[in-house]
Amino acid sequence: MIKQLRSVVYMFLISLFFASLVSAVMFLNEKKIASNQALKLQRIILKVLDIAAEKNTADDQISRLFMERVKDIRVGDRILYVGYKEDGHTILGYAFPVGGPGFWGPIQGMVGVDPDATKVLGIAFYKHTETPGLGGRITEDWFSSQFNGLRLFPIEGDQKIFYLKPAGTTGAPNELDAITGATNTSSAVETFLNDELDYFLKELWTTVEERE
Amino acid sequence: MPNLPSKKEIFLTGLWKDNPVLRQVLGICSTLAVTNLMVNTLVMDAGLIFTVCLSSLTVSLLRKYTPMRIRMMVQTLIIASYVIIVDILIKAHMPDISEALGPYVALIITNCIIMGRCEAFARNNPPLASFLDGLGMSLGYSLVLIAIAFIREPLGFGTLLGIRVMPENFVQWTIMIMAPGAFFTLGILAWITKYFLPNAKNSEERT
Amino acid sequence: MSQLIFSILIISGIGALFALLLELADAFIANYGECRISINREKELVVQGGNSLLFSLMEEGIFIPSACGGKGTCAYCKVKVLEGGGPILPTETPYLTEEEQAKNVRLSCQVKVRNDLVIELPAELFLIEEFKVKVDRIVDLTPFIKGVTLGILSPEEGISFKPGQYIQLEIPKYKLSKEPEYRAFSMASSSKGPQSVELYIGLVEKGLVSTYVHEYLKEGEELIMRGPFGDFYFRDSERDILLVATGTGLAPILSILRHIRSEQIQRKTTLFFGTRIREDMYCVEELKEMEKQLPAFTFIPTLSREAESSQWEGKRGRVTDLIEDLVPEGADYDVYICGNSDMVDSCMDRLLEKGIPEDQIYFDKFS
Amino acid sequence: MTPINPLTLFLAAIFTNNILLTNFLGLCPFLSISRERKSAMGMGAAVVFVMASTTVLNNWIYYKILLPFGLEHFRYIVFIVVIAAFVQLVEMTVERFFPALYFVLGIFLPLITVNCAIFGASLFMVIRGYDLVQSIAYGAGSGIGWWLAIMVVSAIREKLQKSATLPKGLEGPAITLIITGLLSLAFLAFSGMIRVQ
């Protein structure tokens, strides 16, 4: 019986040791990871609202800028971020989180629209589990900058706000380049982003307008 | 105690003679997934080298105390803990890389090389030898990964480490970015090595 | 903080629970009791049943080469299982060719020890042990060759080996070498005396181990030795025996001769022992002594570079010349050759020309 | 929980997101065992059984134990330890009580104790937030997808061994990788069919 007891105690001690090791490392880095996430979100929102577009602005400058220029308001089931111009009170635009099923797992992004929600200021995807180098390229600038200036209108019938076509075959302004080799991710993004934009325009936008 | 080859020998076997990927056909899963971008490959290699060396060292340190029936579970626990530490460190200090690698960092846990080295070598050899064996094996693995990425990224994206290497009018081979490209590249690489080095029995030399 | 400790305890609890489950299963389900594994019909192990053969042998300190750690993908761990192995499993068939299966070669990582087994291993795999030895005596046999006698401290029962085999001697770090080095040396002592081993170590310039032995090694010093190795050893048969040796190559040959003397083997034995000059010759008294004791033994020394003027009456020239003159055409000898590789190769050609079948010629090349 | 009907998830796991051909998981045993159909069959069956059961087991543990006590960042440790223990337990029971089944399926279990595909399935189950029924469908689907891939490749390899004479150096892992590459190319054709995460 001792042999069994010995290995149970041994396993308990080993798991205790390694669990505490992992927790210690987690504890030390938790704040750093949290601040990374928050910073990334702020950077994305500022980028989407076209306030601080350059990639290399220092972290502290980003959070200061975010404090001054962005306020968040709760609308329906989401948090909307209202961006202001330098003077601090004329509205520059609104940013709201979007999300939906990608090829491998959920994709989350942020969409920035002008004050009267007729045009897209900027779009960025920041959380996904797509294949690195393939679907994962939705986070790259060349892909997200295509959406800048996209005309927005609530969807009637099957006519979509934008389409993702294979690279090089795009014609109309609302036909954008899909990621070569990642047809699955591209079609996934096209579907859920259209629905989210439509949802925003139809449900959320009306409440935002009254608030003004 | 097997007759212990000198430290240098252990290291070299891993590096080339018994190269894990090409010769023993181990650790293929993560090899193919991340090698379409050199940046991801380098981070994956670093993560793997860190994990293989430390796991081999720990398993070897504990080899006399681990009860036999639960040795497999203890080894998985050790490996998983090191991989999570790697995952946390990458998330904290290299957030965008961790974004790009996605689930593949966690998949290092099941990389057959680590478990293979722990079971085959670390479990019955002294710590320093196991550490070196782990180092040799993981470097051997990283070399192959880098070789594959060296082929796949330029052909697939026309860039290497993000810098444009291919001429402007180069049409990207999208197949190289996707799964089939990875299979073909590794297949051809394995073919070439087998062609030049049929696994000759290593002759035992004596003075 | 308490949340952290609480979560750590939960994880350890889960781990311990699974360990308990595994142990209980092991105790009630997988215990096959004691099983006997007989190796090469010489050594018998008693192991706990339920594990793979590879694993059970490793528990007993016998290390079968394995790369993938029992995952059935590297096929390094092939072993002959004569009895008790059960049918060849589908996990093994991809790796075993037809004639391997016919010779019941199996993957030891897949064969489960559930009953008594009879297996066959390459000798060097299971006989090798590590010995702690003490230097009892160092004798200058010739200006360049030292006779070193090592007493075995542990394990007590000493080393069991076949006459002609060699060991690996490990010398510690010293001025010339940054880390412990080891070299192979054939044993000259008779296999009847397992407690002590006699080695003839020739000085090789810039040779790390031999320089250490010749200049630094002192009596009473303790070293590490591993062995026995090699498939150059004395075979029983009815045929006459021809022994050929040069320089330190006499060591394994002497071990064979001492075996013949202690076993009173009555086979006709001839020894050609060649060195350059008279001072390089050693153990001559013992060999002459043996010639008297064993009527069937003749000892023929030869010197290849002795000055003409010296009063040496023995043969002059190389051992290959002795083979040329003294070995009759179509002779049916068992031949044991030991020395540097060029000598061995040239003797080999001469002997084949004389019609001696190749599988009766055993050699041990010192590079 | 993502709104997807378990049946589509089941079919998708077999064809569009085949765990081996698109996610590259479980390749190590695949390359060596696929030399023969008989062993491939046994291996495939073992993978289906273990993948389905461990995905469900891990799903239950994740939502019933890990989440309530806030132990998310330990999920990888718990999953892999659960898989290792589960496979060893099953192997022992099958070896003892069902010897016939053991020779068909049991002997493959130690080979897949720590296998990327099995762990990968549990991993994706958590990332995509499947509930219990969906994880059964996903686990079984991926297992069958893996089984399908290994059966196809082992059939081709056996045919190859009998008829074709391969150029020097190509036999073994090299030709298997190239065949698998072609197969994953073929499976890409399914990708447009069902879009699932």
Q: If you write DSSP's letter for every residue of D107-141 in order, what string do you get?
A: GGGGGGTT-HHHHHHHHHHHHTT--HHHHHHHHHH
A90-111 pLDDT per residue, tens: 888 888 888 888 776 788 888 8
pLDDT score for C290: 87
Q: Among partner residues D2, D16, D77, which is closest to A101 by beta-carbon distance?
A: D2
pLDDT score for B13: 64
pLDDT band (50, 70, 90) for residue A53: low
Q: How far apart are CA B77 and CA C180, in angstroms?
A: 35
D43-88 pLDDT per residue, tens: 888 899 999 999 999 999 898 888 887 777 788 888 988 998 888 8
Q: Among partner residues B77, B81, B191, which is closest to D174 by beta-carbon distance?
A: B191
Contacts of residue D72, Cβ cutoff 8 Å, sequence gap at least 6: D66
Contacts of residue C139, Cβ cutoff 8 Å, sequence gap at least 6: C146, C147, C148, C149
Q: Are C339 and C366 in contact (CB under 8 A)?
A: yes
Residue D127 has pLDDT above 60, yes or no: yes
Contact B73 C19 (CB under 8 A): yes
Residue B102 has pLDDT above 60, yes or no: yes
Contact A11 B101 (CB under 8 A): no
Chains with at least 3 CB pairs less than 8 angstroms from chain B: A, C, D
Q: CA of B141 to nearest chain A CA: how many angstroms apart?
A: 20
- In the chain, the amino acid numbered D95 is E
pLDDT band (50, 70, 90) for residue D152: very high
A55-72 pLDDT per residue, tens: 667 777 777 888 888 888
Average pLDDT, chain D: 84
What average pLDDT score do residues C206-218 get?
83
C52 CB neighbours in chain D (<8 A) are 110
Interface of B with C in 165-204 (CB under 8 A): none
pLDDT score for A163: 85
What average pLDDT score do residues C221-247 get?
86
pLDDT score for C67: 67
> A113 - beta bridge partners?
A94, A120
Distances (CA, A) of A105 to A136, A188, B103, C127, D17: 11, 10, 10, 56, 12
Distances (CA, A) of C42 to A91, B113, C38, C39, C126: 92, 36, 7, 6, 10
Closest by CA position to A192, among listed A131, A108, A121, A91 = A108
Q: Are A3 and B69 in contact (CB under 8 A)?
A: no
Contact A129 D74 (CB under 8 A): no
D191 CB neighbours in chain A (<8 A) are 183-184
Interface of A with B in 101-130 (CB under 8 A): 104-105, 126-130
- In the chain, the amino acid numbered C130 is E
What average pLDDT score do residues C308-334 get?
85
pLDDT band (50, 70, 90) for residue D197: very low
Q: How far apart are CA C268 and CA C298, in angstroms?
A: 8
Q: How far apart are CA C302 and CA C125, in angstroms?
A: 39
Closest by CA position to D59, among listed D49, D67, D48 = D67
Cis omega before residue C155 (within 30°)?
yes
Asked which of B146-155, C54-63, D175-184 is least confident by mean pLDDT, the reply is C54-63
Distances (CA, A) of A38 to A62, A63, A137, B102, D86: 11, 9, 22, 19, 39
CB neighbour burial string for C152-168, b if at least 16 within 10 angstroms, e if fewer: beeeeebbebbbbbbbb
Closest by CA position to D44, among listed D26, D67, D70, D62 = D26
| Tokens (6 digits) for C159 | 């080393």
Average pLDDT, chain C: 84
Contacts of residue B30, Cβ cutoff 8 Å, sequence gap at least 6: B44, B48, B104, B107, B108, B111, D24, D116
Residue B149 has pLDDT above 70, yes or no: yes
Q: How far apart are CA A16 and CA B81, in angstroms?
A: 11
Q: CA of D17 to nearest chain A CA: how many angstroms apart?
A: 8
Q: Are D73 and A22 in contact (CB under 8 A)?
A: yes
Chain D interface test: which of C91, C106, C115 (most D C-beta within 10 Å):
C91
Asked which of A78-82, C345-349, C359-363 is least confident by mean pLDDT, the reply is A78-82
What average pLDDT score do residues A70-75 get?
81
Residue A79 main-chain phi, psi, to 5 deg:
-100, 130
Q: CA of B143 to nearest chain C CA: how many angstroms apart?
A: 19
Give the E-state strand segments of chain C in sequence order: 34-39, 43-48, 78-83, 105-107, 117-120, 129-142, 145-154, 166-171, 181-186, 196-202, 222-229, 240-246, 269-275, 297-303, 315-316, 333-340, 361-366
- Judged by DSSP in three states, D55 sits in helix
Q: How far apart are CA D196 and CA A103, in angstroms?
A: 6
Average pLDDT, chain A: 82
Domains and CATH numbers, chain C: 34-125 (3.10.20.30), 128-229 (2.40.30.10), 240-366 (3.40.50.80)
Q: Among partner residues C11, C14, C19, which is closest to A7 by beta-carbon distance?
A: C19
Q: CA of D54 to nearest chain B CA: how many angstroms apart?
A: 15
A124-136 pLDDT per residue, tens: 888 877 776 677 7
C145-160 pLDDT per residue, tens: 889 999 988 888 888 8
**C-beta pairs of C290-294 under 8 Å, 24+ apart in sequence:** C290/C257, C290/C261, C293/C261, C294/C260, C294/C261, C294/C269
Q: What is the ipTM of this complex?
A: 0.75
Contacts of residue A172, Cβ cutoff 8 Å, sequence gap at least 6: none
Contact A4 C11 (CB under 8 A): no
pLDDT band (50, 70, 90) for residue A211: low
Q: Are A107 and A128 in contact (CB under 8 A)?
A: yes
Closest by CA position to D118, among listed D35, D184, D183, D49 = D49
Q: Is B4 exposed, middle or buried (0-12, 13-18, 19+ CB in 10 A)?
A: middle
Residue C220 has pLDDT above 60, yes or no: yes
Contact A19 D74 (CB under 8 A): yes
Q: Are B186 and B26 in contact (CB under 8 A)?
A: no
Percentage of chain D beyond pLDDT 90 is: 19
pLDDT score for B18: 64
Q: How far apart are CA B131 and CA A157, in angstroms?
A: 65
Q: How far apart are CA B144 and CA C210, in angstroms?
A: 41
Residue C136 main-chain phi, psi, to 5 deg:
-85, -45
B26-71 pLDDT per residue, tens: 667 766 778 888 888 888 888 889 999 999 999 989 888 888 778 8
Sign of the torsion angle spanned by Cα atoms A164, A167, A172, A174: positive
Q: Is C55 exposed, middle or buried (0-12, 13-18, 19+ CB in 10 A)?
A: buried
What pTM does this model have?
A: 0.70
Q: CA of B123 to nearest chain C CA: how many angstroms apart?
A: 10
Q: How far apart are CA A101 and CA D165, in angstroms?
A: 47
Residue A184 has pLDDT above 60, yes or no: yes
pLDDT score for B201: 32
- Judged by DSSP in three states, C150 sits in strand
DSSP character string of B80-149 = HHHHHHHHHHHHHH-HHHHHHHGGGTGGGGG-HHHHHHHHHTGGGS-HHHHHHHHHHHHHHHHHHHHHHH
CB neighbour burial string for B46-62, b if at least 16 within 10 angstroms, e if fewer: bbbbbbbbbbbbbbbeb
DSSP at C85: -
Q: CA of A16 to nearest chain B CA: how many angstroms apart?
A: 11
Whether chain A has a CB inside 8 Å of the CB on D100: the answer is no
Interface of C with D in 141-160 (CB under 8 A): none
Q: Are B9 and B130 in contact (CB under 8 A)?
A: no
pLDDT score for C10: 86
pLDDT score for B204: 27
Interface of A with C in 57-76 (CB under 8 A): none
Percentage of chain C beyond pLDDT 90 is: 2
What average pLDDT score do residues C98-109 get?
86
What average pLDDT score do residues C80-101 get?
83
B106 CB neighbours in chain A (<8 A) are none
pLDDT band (50, 70, 90) for residue B9: low
What average pLDDT score do residues C275-287 get?
87
pLDDT score for B3: 40
- In the chain, the amino acid numbered A90 is T
Report CA Rg, chain D: 17
Residue D194 main-chain phi, psi, to 5 deg:
-110, 130
